């Protein structure tokens, strides 16, 4: 009998998590099946209850549930508590453990790029769950000089800045709007620009979070957490200026590996899964 693991998200047709995990389960000969639940926010609690009733082993949680899920967990790992966002759930006899694999996934994927951000200014686009995980990694692993957070809703970026002050004692974070002039003014000082919004994928596939007039430079390290498509409008735009660009596929695989081990207690077969996922992406394109 196979046990289910489900991804909860809203408007996530682009997700690659089922192909990643089901390939890993098959290669490792493990009796699990990974499913997607594309649900409305109002359905989240019922869907979570249903997964437990059906004795699922766990879940992933993505946009827009990474922060709202906190109140439904029974306990949180130290990392999830610190970050204030959860992307992985482990069900244990009616208990729900919340974990965050985005932060270690981000670190493993961009270890080399992050070394170049030491003591530099980093501009982050977005202030949701993924941005929280990114902030956790860059503060704890690279100690940036300054973090600037640009978000559509500035109340949310201000909350994140306050969180960084309280939890990490990090006092060099600032908030700005997504206006081109504000972004352009700060981009000159920034060594790294990290894009954590969904703009560039799914229903926003033809959009970019920055205007066409926005200017990158060739010193910029530009990371877009989006992995489908592999090259968003935003990354293509940065590439035209000679910036060093990275997409989100490596982070996706590394965060999946971390969650896989939590659910199954075994090591994720990264070397075997990666070519299957890359071939799947090529075929789909
Ligand atoms: P989230 O917690 O719901 O946060 C979404 C963020 O994006 C918020 O800052 C939100 O701004 C902003 N946003 C949403 N729609 C927008 C729009 N139309 N225009 C401008 N800003 C918009 O979601 P998340 O979990 O952080 O995920 C965000 C993205 O990162 C998703 O595309 C996800 O697939 C990707 N991601 C990738 C990986 C990976 O492994 N590669 C890992 C994690 C996340 P407001 O506050 O104004 O709503």
For residue 284, pLDDT over 90 is answered with no
Question: How far apart are the CA of 129 and the centre of ligand 1, in A?
Answer: 7
What does the mean pLDDT of the chain come to?
97
Angle, helices 17-27 vs 249-264, to 10°: value is 50
pLDDT computed for residue 275 by the predictor: 98
CA of 218 from ligand 1 middle (Å) equals 26
> Once rounded to an integer, what is the mean pLDDT over residues 172-197?
95
C-beta of residue 78 within 8 angstroms of C-beta of residue 100: no
Give the closest residue (by CA) to ligand 1 atom 8. 128
Give the span between the Cα atoms of 28 and 276, in whole angstroms.
14
Tens digits of residue pLDDT in 225-246: 999 999 999 999 999 999 999 9
Q: Which of 99, 128, 135 to mutate to test the pocket of ligand 1 (most atoms within 8 A of CB)?
A: 128
pLDDT at 60: 98
What residue's CA is closest to ligand 1, atom 43? 130
Q: Answer yes or no: is pLDDT of 163 > 90.
A: yes
Q: Rounded to whole angstroms, how far apart are CA atoms 240 and 217?
A: 9
pLDDT in tens, 126-149: 999 999 999 999 999 998 999 999
Does 111 score more than 90 pLDDT?
A: yes
Who contacts 231 (Cβ-Cβ below 8 Å, separation ≥6)?
239, 247
What is the CA(122)–ligand 1 centre distance, in A? 18
The domain 104-247 having CATH identifier 3.40.50.300: the answer here is: no
Of 45, 55, 66, 282, the active-site residue reads 66
Q: Is the pLDDT of residue 6 over 90?
A: yes
Residue 66 among the catalytic residues = yes
Pocket of ligand 1 (CB under 6 A): 62-64, 66, 102, 105, 126-131, 151-153, 156, 196-199, 201, 204, 225-227, 248, 251-252, 255
Average pLDDT over residues 189-197: 97
Q: How far does the centroid of ligand 1 lie from the alpha carbon of residue 128, in Å? A: 6
Which residue of 131, 133, 198 sits with most ligand 1 atoms within 8 Å of its CB, as the best mutation to test the pocket?
198
How far is the C-alpha of 282 from the C-alpha of 264, rounded, in Å?
Answer: 29
Split at pLDDT 50, 70, 90, the class of 1 is confident
* Distance from the alpha carbon of residue 30 to the mean position of ligand 1, in angstroms: 31
Query: From its phi and psi, is residue 207 left (phi > 0), alpha (psi between -120 and 50) or beta?
Result: beta
What residue ranges do the domains of the chain occupy?
3-100+251-284, 104-247
Atom of ligand 1 nearest to the CA of 87: 25
Are 3-100+251-284 and 104-247 equal in CATH topology? Answer: yes
Contact 161, 149 (CB under 8 A): yes
- The closest residue, in CA terms, to atom 40 on ligand 1 is 252
CA of 28 to the centre of ligand 1 (A): 31
What phi, psi does 173 have (nearest 5°)? -110, 145
Protein residue closest via CA to atom 5 of ligand 1: 128
Q: Which atom of ligand 1 is nearest to the CA of 247?
A: 41
Rounded Cα distance between 149 and 20, Å, is: 31
CATH topology of domain 3-100+251-284: Rossmann fold (3.40.50)
Angle at 158 between CA 73 and CA 250, to 5 degrees: 60
Residue nearest to atom 41 of ligand 1 (CA): 248
Residue 285 scores a pLDDT above 80: no
SS3 readout for the chain: CCEEEEEEECCCCCCCHHHHHHHHHHHCCCCEEEEEEECCHHHHHHHHHHHHHCCCCEEEECCCCCCHHHHHCCEECHHHHHHCCCCEEEEECCEEEEECCHHHHHHHHCHHHHHCCCCCEEEEECCCHHHHHHHHHHHHHCCCCEEEEECCCHHHHHHHHHHHHHHHCCCCEEEECCCHHHHHHHHCCEEEEEECCCECEHHHCCCCCCCCCCCCCCCCEEEECCCCCCCCHHHHHHHHCCCEEECCHHHHHHHHHHHHHHHHCCCCCHHHHHHHHHHHHHHHC
**Predicted confidence (pLDDT) at residue 280 exceeds the cutoff of 80:** yes
Average pLDDT over residues 72-93: 97
């Amino acid at each position: 009998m196979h046990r289910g693991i489900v991804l909860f998200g809203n408007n996530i047709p682009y997700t690659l998590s089922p192909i990643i995990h089901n390939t890993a389960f098959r290669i490792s000969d493990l009796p699990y099946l990974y499913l997607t639940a594309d649900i409305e926010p109002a359905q989240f609690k019922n869907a979570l209850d249903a997964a437990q009733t059906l004795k699922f082993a766990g879940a992933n949680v993505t946009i827009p549930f990474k922060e709202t899920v906190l109140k439904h967990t029974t306990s949180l790992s130290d990392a999830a508590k610190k970050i204030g966002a959860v992307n992985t759930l482990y069900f244990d006899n009616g208990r729900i453990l919340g974990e965050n694999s985005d932060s270690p996934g981000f670190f493993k994927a961009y270890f080399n790029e992050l070394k170049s951000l030491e003591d530099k200014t980093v501009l982050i686009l977005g202030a949701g769950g993924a941005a929280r995980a990114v902030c956790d990694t860059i503060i704890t692993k690279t100690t940036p000089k300054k973090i600037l957070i640009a978000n559509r809703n500035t109340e949310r970026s201000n909350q994140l800045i306050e969180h960084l002050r309280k939890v990490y004692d990090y006092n060099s974070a600032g908030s700005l709007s997504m206006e081109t002039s504000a972004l352009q003014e700060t981009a000159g000082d920034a060594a790294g620009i990290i894009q954590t919004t969904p703009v560039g994928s799914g229903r926003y596939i033809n959009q970019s979070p920055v205007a066409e007039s926005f200017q990158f430079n060739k010193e910029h390290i530009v990371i877009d957490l989006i992995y489908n498509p592999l090259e968003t409008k935003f990354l293509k735009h940065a590439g035209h200026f000679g910036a060093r660009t990275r997409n989100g596929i490596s982070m996706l695989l590394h965060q999946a590996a971390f969650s896989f081990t939590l659910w199954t207690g075994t090591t994720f077969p990264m070397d075997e899964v990666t070519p299957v996922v890359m071939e799947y992406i090529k075929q789909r394109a």
